[in-house]
Homo-oligomer: A and B are copies of this chain.
Amino acid sequence: MKESSRNWKQLKMIYEDYAIFTPGPVKMSEEILQVGAEQTPYFRNSEFSDVTFACEKGLLDMVNAPDGSKVIFLTASGTAGMEAAIMNLLNENDNALVVNGGGFGARFMGICATHAIPHTNFKVANTNLADIESLAPKENYTALVVNAHETSVGHLYDLDAMGDYAEKNDMLFIVDAISMLVTDPLDMQKSNIDVVIASSQKGLALPPGLTMVILSPKALDKLQDINSVYFDFKDYLTNGERGQSPYTPAVTIMLQLHARLEQIKNRGGIGQSIASAKEVADYFRKSIKALPLKEYTPYMPNAMTTLTPTDGKSAMEIVNALETGYKVMVCPNGGVERDVVFRVSHMGEMTKEYTDILIDALHDYYDVARPS
């Protein structure tokens, strides 16, 4: 065991006042953090059931879910939500068209392979799939699976076009909205979406550990018996009728979600949150025009900006310089993209003033005067 003083120093370092622009965990509001300092209450009672019901209602309203939709609250990371959705909804008689535009698309591919779901690797690049009709392979598919925001590269797909295509071809439309909910528009009814997967530590700006799967009536009809105890959605739905869950929920994060949904409402609703994220993202992109950094994709979400150095610098070097020189955390990529791109999140408790910290740091790093 390391020395106590050493451990304390590690914690201090972790909590030091860095400006946070990583795409999860993201900066949280003081109001939400204060809930994290409360004793976790007992939850097998009607008070906590009411909290669960309010969270469900708030989420369904936020995504304009069709009447009769339900929310599964999983104590787990987002990947568990992706896997559980596939396990509960698809089987060997399905044929899934999996959009694969990066690391998270590849993860959906791996999940389908692990569970022996017939699937096609719909490899895409340089398109937001507004033209999915002409691009998609001409096969019969039963499901369309996509990460609405492919977070590994910061690429947002056109959910309306995809939903039209899914409806026309009678496909179940499964959308991982983990890194775009709250910052970018998502409308289940308008885009014919049957399943939405969301997670606590992105746009919802809560600590990680809670994942939500929103199911339309069409998805609910398709739920099957599965060989899993922890991911059995039917069990969650039965318990959900009384506002409870089969296993200990992430009580504290549920209470933070409850407070956060109130906060979003009090700040003018989900439309206002999306507009605010767009304003901050636009401001950031405009403010760094003078720097040798290029936007990696023309299809960026409000949630994130992905940048490529145009002067031969390594992206990783910039990430490190921002952290050590300016106490600003942005997000590197791994593998082959390590030197090619870095990512700047606009999710969470973001303002133009807060984003100025990063904008100023980048100008100072490049020794370029910031245009006034």
Q: Which residues of A contact B (CB under 8 A)?
A: 1-2, 4, 7-8, 10-11, 13-15, 18, 20, 22, 24-25, 27-28, 33-44, 47-48, 50-51, 54, 57-58, 61, 75-80, 83, 107, 110-111, 114-116, 199, 201, 207-210, 227-230, 246-253, 255, 258-259, 262, 265-266, 329, 331-332
Contacts and interface: CB of A to CB of B under 8 A. Distances in A.
Nearest to A32: B37
Contacts of A20: 39, 41-42
Nearest to A115: B227
A264 to B, nearest CB: 11
B47 A39 contact: no
A247 B51 contact: no
B54 A41 contact: no
B249 A208 contact: yes
Contact of A201 (B44, B248, B253): B248
B54 A7 contact: yes
Contact of A78 (B13, B27, B248): B248
Contacts of A36: 33, 36-37, 252
Most chain B beta carbons < 10 A, residue from A41, A209, A246, A250 = A209
Contacts of A78: 247-248
A208 B114 contact: no
Nearest to A41: B14
Contacts of A13: 47
A28 B39 contact: yes
A235 to B, nearest CB: 10
Given A7-B54, A37-B37, A47-B10, A76 B75 contact: yes
Nearest to A80: B230
A42 B329 contact: yes
Contacts of A201: 40, 248, 251
B34 A250 contact: no
Contact of A207 (B14, B25, B47, B251): B251
A224 B35 CA distance: 41
11 contacts: A1-B58, A4-B265, A7-B258, A10-B51, A15-B38, A18-B41, A27-B39, A28-B39, A40-B208, A199-B248, A209-B209
Nearest to A323: B45
A47 B14 contact: yes
B39 A262 contact: no
A250 B22 CA distance: 16
A107 B229 CA distance: 9
Contact of A14 (B48, B111, B116, B209): B48
Contacts of A259: 11
Contacts of A44: 331-332
